[in-house]
A and B are shown apart, each in its own frame.
Chain A
Amino acid sequence: METTEIQVDVIIPTQTKYLDLIGSIGERIARELDNYSGDREALAYHLNLVLTEATTNAIKHSSHKDMKDTVRITLRILEDELNIKVYDHGQGFDLESVPMPDFDNPKEDGMGIYFIRTLMDSVTYSKKDETNVLEIKKYLK
């Protein structure tokens, strides 16, 4: 059975001013990982980035009509995996249909999901009841 060593659970209003807070949590956690043998500073930046992108995405897709809407972010550090889940209550989107960026004709948007896919090991998006979940995994080698 997997043992959860650390779990962080944060709920924020759907406002971009909280991105710094969420990203900073990821950055701090990366520095605390005992089992990670890779470049810790790079991982710190990548977790900051991935959490920032995923939370921005959730805020964008949230139901703007509801001022009390929130985004929930959970981070779990397991023995061999870092698990991130970002929950929103918006209309959702089709992760599979998000294209790769066109590197020869770069556009101003559409790079967020690319970052998450490139820097992490697994990304899925699912809907259960009225809640969407973006689940991101980074294996800790």
Chain B
Amino acid sequence: MNIIQQQLNGFSVLYIKEERIDAHNSNDLKQYIVERIEAGEINLVVQLQEVKFVDSSGLGALLAGYKHAAAKSGKLALSNMQRQVLSMFELTRLNRVFEIYTDLDDAFTNES
């Protein structure tokens, strides 16, 4: 799983550099997020601009990250989601769980 991490405006931003999140790489994603949180980066934004496809295990990995951050009194939000990917969140009602932002500026403005 290719991920670039950057500290911005007090958030740990994870840029997912993959077109696909499925059962082949979702566990890596989950582990990566959990490790960041365990390292003290409890406020995260996952930037999904390049992700064209996510399956149920990918949603599960993000949900695991969200729960882990919440358990540490932090927050995991999502940004730059493509339309079809967003429709998966709508189908599973996970758009009611996650804060989903148009872009990083939108995320920083609303989360600060």
Name A residues whose Cβ lies closer than 8 Å to a Cβ of B: 16-17, 19-20, 23, 41-42, 45, 48-49, 52-53, 56, 59, 101, 103, 106-112, 114-115, 118
Contacts and interface: CB of A to CB of B under 8 A. Distances in A.
A52 B97 CA distance: 24
Give me the 3 closest cross-chain CB pairs, A-B, nearest first. Answer: A108-B60, A111-B56, A16-B24
Contact of A56 (B23, B63, B84, B91): B23
Given A16-B23, A23-B22, A48-B53, 17 more contacts: A16-B24, A19-B22, A19-B24, A42-B84, A45-B87, A52-B22, A56-B22, A103-B96, A106-B63, A106-B93, A106-B94, A107-B60, A109-B56, A109-B57, A111-B56, A114-B92, A115-B88
Interface of B: 20, 22-24, 53, 55-57, 59-61, 63-64, 84, 87-88, 91-94, 96-97
Given A56-B55, A103-B93, A114-B92, A109 B60 contact: yes
Chain B at the A interface: SS class:
helix
A41 B84 contact: yes
A112 B60 CA distance: 10
B104 to A, nearest CB: 25
B53 A23 contact: yes
Nearest to B64: A108
Given A19-B22, A23-B22, A52-B22, A112 B92 contact: no
B55 A53 contact: yes
B24 A20 contact: yes
A23 B88 CA distance: 16
A111 B60 contact: yes
Contact of B56 (A41, A42, A112): A112
A23 B84 CA distance: 15
Given A19-B24, A20-B24, A101 B60 contact: no
A78 B67 CA distance: 44
A120 to B, nearest CB: 13
20 contacts: A19-B24, A20-B24, A23-B20, A41-B84, A42-B84, A42-B87, A48-B53, A49-B55, A53-B56, A56-B23, A56-B57, A103-B92, A106-B94, A107-B60, A109-B60, A111-B60, A111-B92, A114-B56, A115-B56, A115-B91
